[in-house]
Structure 1
Amino acid sequence: MTTSEQTETSTDVRPIVTPSLILPGAAGGTPAEFTPDVLAKLQELEDRSKKHEQNTRPRNTVEGYAADWKQWTEFCALLGLPVNAITPGSLTAFVEWLWWQPGWKEGTYSAPSTIDRRLSGVVVTGRVEHGLLLAKTVAARARRVLKAKVKELEKSGEVRGRGPAAAFTVPQLRAAVAAAPDTLLGLRNRAIGTLAFALMAREHEVAYLRLRDLVDHENGLLVDIRVSKVKPRKVKVPQGSRPSTCPVRTWRAWRKMAGLTDPDGFAFRALHPRWHTVMDSGLEPETIGDVITALGAAADLGVRHTGHSTRRGGADAARRAGADRKAIAVHGGWAANSSALEVYFDDGEGWEDNAMNGVL
């Protein structure tokens, strides 16, 4: 065992057993003023706080974490482990077990991205719902094992999963906007596509925007993203150079034509299936993804885009335009040092300063 592994093990295994409530100044025992009634009340407040935190998560995130934890409990039952036994060793074994679980398509196995997400889901659920004090590096070894397995896949040529979402490039977005019908539905979909691109937003972040969250500014829009997978953020969206793909102009046109005035109402509404009138109900995150997919399909771009394509495309376009990596991460709500964001950058870079430019 290497020194780094010894350090990781010693820091990651120790904090598994966690008291349900850590009291101030309670290192040498419970202070006298913390009577049983006070402790019961504090525990009730703690439980309510955790429930409130869970309720503010996007539904798809909650469902994803639930699916991840279900796989973890099944794995623990097979090995006879308690579910709170979240250690570097158990998570590594979890990766080994998941590697041979069925994939999304018959005859396939779990995709590496799915396994990586399950690791995150287990660790987050362990911390938030089970009160475990887990080190930040608790899943580091498991991810190194997963990375080694991915390299072996590359050597063998085996393909797992559907692959990453194709980025919506700026030329493709222009073509998609041009192909959208000149109707209320078409206007709404153009507003969704251009704003999702400009915000580098996740599907649920667009779906849960309220009218009050988009405030006009002399330079564009101030957008308050209150519901987010990572954390809320406020984003400045400048006006675009082309009216057709300007998210500010397109949003204002949709707001006016749809007659949106209720500040508490959804920014993007469902339309009546027959009369195409604006309804009070908002759109599900999956519907936002369907809208973005339909925009690309209508333009016959030869690439199938998903709801994640505008998020990825916005980050890639910003990087190509010279934006700082940290600024992009803040704008799009990525965690610091996000591995997903680095992959986007790696895929999009290397052309302007390519060693073969002008050689042949």
Structure 2
Amino acid sequence: MAEHQTAVEPVVIPAPLVRPEDFDAATRMALDHIDGQAVRVVADGRPENTRKGYAQDWASWSKFSTDHDVPLLAVTPGTLVMFVEWLWTRPGSKPGTCMAPSTIGRRVTGTVVSARTEHGVKLEEGVARLARNRLKQLVREMEEKGEQRGRGQAPPLLVDHLTAISAACPDNLMGIRDRAMVLMHFAVAGREHEIAANRMRDYADDAGGLIADMRVSKVRPRIVPVPYGSRPAICPVRAWTAWKDAAQLDDPDGPAFRRLHPRWHTVMKSGLQPESVGDVVTRAGQRAGIEIRFTGHSPRRGLATSARLKGHDQIVIAKQGGWAPHSKVLAGYLEIVDQWEDNALIGVL
């Protein structure tokens, strides 16, 4: 009787590895195509506001390059410095003003990103570093002369302000909407475009309050738990429920915060634009008789400031508002609070 024969697996000899510098022309072309497609997919996935902003930045760069006979794709450390100096002389958004430093910084960022993603330019690492240093020099010179550009940082909208705003909201659809929107804006540390993009289904009831889905964000989407407030007058959950019931909102895909008819003040089907969200915040503060002029960024900064005053950690605050965990912007907000707690003079004088 023949013994059982064990099958022998054939030995596979791997092909020799080809290093990237030895790729042939066809392989390089195929890889470049794959890279270009990947860049396009990521670029197309950006929020609409971000894409519009980058388009404006590139349009500004295009005008600069035409005015100075600089090749459009010559995005280099030197040309970016020239770009900053050119932008410094450009008019601001309001007549009689000059462009704000923050706007210039965004123009540089948008130009670099657009060159890389939209036009496939391979830029050196840190290509904008020299331009940003030049911008810092210009800002320092401006401050030494006592000049000011832009509106500066948005003032924080704090809990005491929320109390006054809530009390001053009239008992009609506009007042109910404004109260709910300002309180929710604060609770989720929202950006204007995030609040404007929210739909009914983005606010889900939960045993502890609401689960808010900030699905449209220029940085990253996030899920934000919004608990019931200890003070009913400024509770975002109760305010949201009151608005939803008063406006008879029942379409889960409809805007969460709606426009009101300018004459009849009835609820319309369309939602608010991001700029309109900021206008509501500004008007709410004025209605309450608060002398500070709040903007659409004030509730976001206000949440960060108020949470820090209650001792919350930066990581916890960052998670609520969708900041990067070690965001320099957020750290700057918190530093203003911490300067009184961590002060070298405490216990000295």
- Please give the TM-score of this superposition, normalised by the length of structure 2: 0.85
- 1:89/1:265 CA distance change after superposition, 3 Å: same
Percentage of matched positions with identical amino acids: 50
Select the residue among 141, 151, 157 that pairs with 1:152.
141
* SS in structure 1 of the partner of residue 308 of structure 2: helix
- Residue 166 of structure 2 aligns with an amino acid whose one-letter code is V
Which digits, 9 at most, give the CA deviation of each residue in 1:87-122, with x for residues without a partner? 222222211221222233444322111111111221
Shift in Å at residue 123 of structure 1? Answer: 2.0
| Pair 1:291-2:280 in alignment | yes
- The equivalent residue for 1:49 is 41
Of residues 138-147 and 45-54 in structure 1, the stretch that sits farther from structure 2 once superposed is 45-54
In 1, Cα distance between equivalents of 2:190 and 2:72: 34
- Residue 98 of structure 1 aligns with an amino acid whose one-letter code is L
In 2, Cα distance between equivalents of 1:186 and 1:107: 36
Select the residue among 78, 84, 88 that pairs with 2:67.
78
- Residue 237 of structure 1 aligns with an amino acid whose one-letter code is V
Q: Is the 2:92–2:99 contact (alpha carbons within 8 Å) kept by the matching residues of 1? A: yes
In 1, Cα distance between equivalents of 2:236 and 2:296: 17
Could you tell me which runs of 5 or more consecutive residues in structure 2 were left unpaired when the two chains were aligned: 1-19
Q: How does 1:315-326 map to 2 (within 5 A)?
A: 315-326=304-315
Q: How does 1:123-272 map to 2 (within 5 A)?
A: 123-134=112-123, 137-272=126-261
- The equivalent residue for 1:10 is none
In 1, Cα distance between equivalents of 2:282 and 2:292: 10
In 1, Cα distance between equivalents of 2:134 and 2:328: 16
- The equivalent residue for 1:29 is 24
- Residue 185 of structure 1 aligns with an amino acid whose one-letter code is M
In 2, Cα distance between equivalents of 1:135 and 1:169: 43
- Residue 111 of structure 1 aligns with an amino acid whose one-letter code is A
Q: Is the 1:58–1:227 contact (alpha carbons within 8 Å) kept by the matching residues of 2? A: no
Shift in Å at residue 359 of structure 1? Answer: 7.4
- Residue 151 of structure 2 aligns with an amino acid whose one-letter code is R
RMSD over equivalenced CA pairs, Å: 2.9
Of structures 1 and 2, the larger Rg is shown by 2
- 1:324/1:285 CA distance change after superposition, 3 Å: same
- 1:27/1:208 CA distance change after superposition, 3 Å: farther
Shift in Å at residue 239 of structure 1? Answer: 1.7
- Residue 29 of structure 1 aligns with an amino acid whose one-letter code is D
Q: Is the 1:69–1:121 contact (alpha carbons within 8 Å) kept by the matching residues of 2? A: yes
| Pair 1:343-2:343 in alignment | no
Length, aligned pairs only:
331
- Please give the TM-score of this superposition, normalised by the length of structure 1: 0.82
Which digits, 9 at most, give the CA deviation of each residue in 1:293-318, with x for residues without a partner? 11101011111111111111111111
Q: Is the 2:257–2:271 contact (alpha carbons within 8 Å) kept by the matching residues of 1? A: yes
| Pair 1:66-2:55 in alignment | yes
Which digits, 9 at most, give the CA deviation of each residue in 1:172-204, with x for residues without a partner? 111111111011211111110000011111111
- 1:45/1:86 CA distance change after superposition, 3 Å: closer
